[in-house]
Amino acid sequence: MVKNSIIDGIIVVNKPRGLTSFDVVSRIRRVVGQKRVGHAGTLDPNVDGVLVIALGKATKLIDELQARPKRYIGSITLGFATETEDLDGEIIAQQAIEKPYTDEAIDNAIVQLNGDIKQIAPMFSAVKVNGKRLYEYARAGEVIERPVRDAFIYDYHRTSPITYQNAQQQFDFVAKVSKGTYIRTLAVDTGRQLGVPATMTSLTRIMGSGMSIDQATDLQDILVLERESLLKLIIPIKDILTWPTKELSDDEWFAVKNGQKISEWAIIDDSAYLQLTYHGDLKAVYAYNNEKSLWQSRYVFTNES
């Protein structure tokens, strides 16, 4: 790679607490020396863990990366609730737990939240209603009807003994969730199942966009790397995608680079997507349109031969 050339690919960052996701993007922009940088899935400032940063042409894949399941570990405290559903907000409800809930009761509440669920968007979130983000209404003290979102919880279960102290109960958990899950709200929903206020008191993302915490590098380490060392951390686009690959002929490449739709190709491995290479280089991704029974452009990475 030519020195200071544009970097295309992703870098998996272990985000520290205290920074926004945009803070991380801003710092990565400076260290790589390019503006085309984005992140795949926001982490709140008080949440640490996996934040996938897309560089260059990989920013085209952010929607695909965000659609992949995420996995979190954390802790939930029963007995109080906050306006932000985590420790950042003011306490809005408290209920002393005089008789501790049994392991069975708490585990049953957790079981009820596996599978398809509906969640109400937190007031302190970036969800837009009538052109304004919910946190803007919240900061102005306005009450507004919040949207309900569908989510899928692949696996949510307790991972520690349940402690009881100061009329509160706390336990650790792991949760693998779909795109669109309000992970903070999972604590609130758990409390609701039990009839008690609850708060997410600790949270770490250990997997996001198919990348695990083992693949992540601490942000502070990334920021001091020389360029050649930094490039070794970049995962190229061809290694991000899992769809079948098709090597294009000269005629097919001509059609693809001109954005033409194609009806002759067969579906491979039941996948509705095809990675298209020419002379071994990834050029584009085509998606199958069932209604029209043809392939059409989904992502274009380059039109150059």
Say if residues 144 and 134 touch (Cβ distance below 8 Å). Answer: yes
Say if residues 113 and 192 touch (Cβ distance below 8 Å). Answer: no
Say if residues 71 and 154 touch (Cβ distance below 8 Å). Answer: no
Token pair for 88: 């950042």
Say if residues 183 and 154 touch (Cβ distance below 8 Å). Answer: no
98 DSSP 8-state letter: S
Beta strand 148-158 with 48-55: parallel, antiparallel or unpaired? unpaired
Which is nearest to 72 in space by CA: 135, 154, 16?
Answer: 154
Residue 174 and residue 169: Cα distance in Å, rounded?
Answer: 17
Token pair for 138: 């919240």
Which is nearest to 301 in space by CA: 232, 249, 240, 222?
Answer: 240
Say if residues 284 and 299 touch (Cβ distance below 8 Å). Answer: yes
The enclosing H or E element of 37 equals: strand 37-39
Angle at CA of residue 155, ends 20 and 161, nearest 5°: 85
Q: Is 115 helix (H, G, I), strand (E, B) or coil?
A: strand
Residues with catalytic function: 44
